[in-house]
Amino acid sequence: MIQGTASSVGKSVLCSAFLRILKQDGWKAAPFKAQNMSLNSFVTKKGLEMGRAQVTQAQAAGMEPDARMNPVLLKPTSDRRSQVIVEGKAIGTMTAMEYHEYKPALRRRIKEIYDSLESENDYVIIEGAGSPAEINLREGDIVNMSMAEAADAPVILVGDIDLGGVFASLLGTVMLLTEEERKRVRGIIINKFRGDVKILEPGLRMLEDRIHIPVIGVVPWMNVELEDEDSVTERFRRQSGEGDIDVAVVKLRHISNFTDFQSLALQPGCRLRYAESAGDLEKADLIVLPGTKNTIEDLIDMRNRGMDQAIIRHARRGGMVFGICGGYQMLGNRLKDPEHTESGVPEASGLGLLDMDVIFEKEKQTTQAVGTVECASGWLEKYNGTFMDGYEIHAGQNILGKSAQPWLRTAEGTDGIMNAGGNVLGSYLHGVFDDGKLFAAMAARIREERGETGKESVPVSFEAFREKEFDRIAAIVRSSVDMEKVYEIMRGEDRK
């Protein structure tokens, strides 16, 4: 089990690296995290929802994502409430206190799920959440030391040196554990190091003398381009890419599945950034409205920031606007939530850029899908027949108006529509940018509108890029961590 001194110390990436190493070494290994809190989710082939972190880890291991790898997923709908997803299905929305009272009932089921996964694999790499030293949460813990105990798993504790104070955080974490919990911690990894390890070595020996746990690795800083687990990410604060097409993704308060844009940022010609104000949208070539867990309230918040008018002005000037999932719904005329499926607000007017209304229903649609471009006229017509793989997670259903022009179809019918000018489009299909074809087509149209010729964006497959990234981080971790010691820990040989 990989635990950390805090959130964002690099647990998820290290789990991916270890899983790829195990795959390279010929072992069948699977990821597991008892509970995720994230708005980045995925839909399995069985139509079950799970957190993206374990999807990425499954891909690193060469495994098909399985909802058993993440039995509980919490998707915040507000500061105090979260949708609770158990074994891939939403069971309702709870406050923090309601969920705290419900957790004991989950313990036995989580153990059963873990046991079934373990029985099918040589190894399981378990990821913790946050810190195991949150002493106020110990009694209700289902994801850190209680999970290690349930699985009888040895623990490797990870600290992030880039933030400073790594020795204090490691020492403090170990000291706040019970004696039995401390016995489970068999190794320490210091992550995100920049510089000469020799300078660090005296501190490592002093730490080992105090906690009596070996430091088994110092992992250097890695610029990792894998999907983020949640909104605790640096991506929102920096620009990605240096291309000629300026892409502004609206930073919604409850932004979800922003993993859609990590593949977009890799595309040649794309210069991607996240926008938080109307001014941030002024020079964009393409404005993207992302998914959200609370569509109406995020629409109202965006309106309060004046961003709605900036988007409308951009579209009326012929600028390109694209909406995915909740962002797609915002582009319509009216959004209605009579049963308060997502929000306490029963109805709101949309941006009016696509001729459709949206009605939210209790039952959420979760499915993998293949979209096909089918456009009757306009610039997308020449791309008819192009396939786009992805998945859908949404409660809203569209009621299309007369001027809505379909451009993307799935087996279920019309998935995406556009306006008469072809510059405002939307789709429910997450992953629509992953193979690079859609952005290449949009970039070609934007350049054509500018009067530019002779420049072309060659699509980059995110899947192929991700495979290289897994091998790269595995090589770095293999060279900076004592893998012989890791295998000893996993087999229990370090205690003999």
Same domain for 162 and 79, yes or no, is yes
Q: Which position among 15, 270, 325, 375 bears the catalytic label?
A: 325
Residue 434 lies in a domain: yes
Confidence of residue 229 (pLDDT cuts 50, 70, 90): low
Same domain for 98 and 63, yes or no, is yes
| 325 part of the active site | yes
| 100 part of the active site | no
Same domain for 254 and 162, yes or no, is no
pLDDT tens digit string along 195-216?
Answer: 999 999 999 999 999 999 999 9
**What domain range includes position 442?**
235-450
Give pTM, 2 decimals. Answer: 0.89
Same domain for 318 and 339, yes or no, is yes
Same domain for 339 and 406, yes or no, is yes
The pLDDT value given to residue 340: 85
Same domain for 214 and 92, yes or no, is yes
Count of domains in the chain?
2
pLDDT tens digit string along 33-44?
Answer: 999 998 889 999
Residue 240 lies in a domain: yes
CATH of the domain at 71: 3.40.50.300
CA pseudo-torsion sign 422, 426, 427, 433: positive
Same domain for 48 and 187, yes or no, is yes
pLDDT tens digit string along 123-143?
Answer: 999 999 999 999 888 888 999
Does 238 score more than 80 pLDDT? no
CATH of the domain at 298: 3.40.50.880
Does 321 score more than 90 pLDDT? yes
Does 237 score more than 70 pLDDT? no
Residue 460 lies in a domain: no
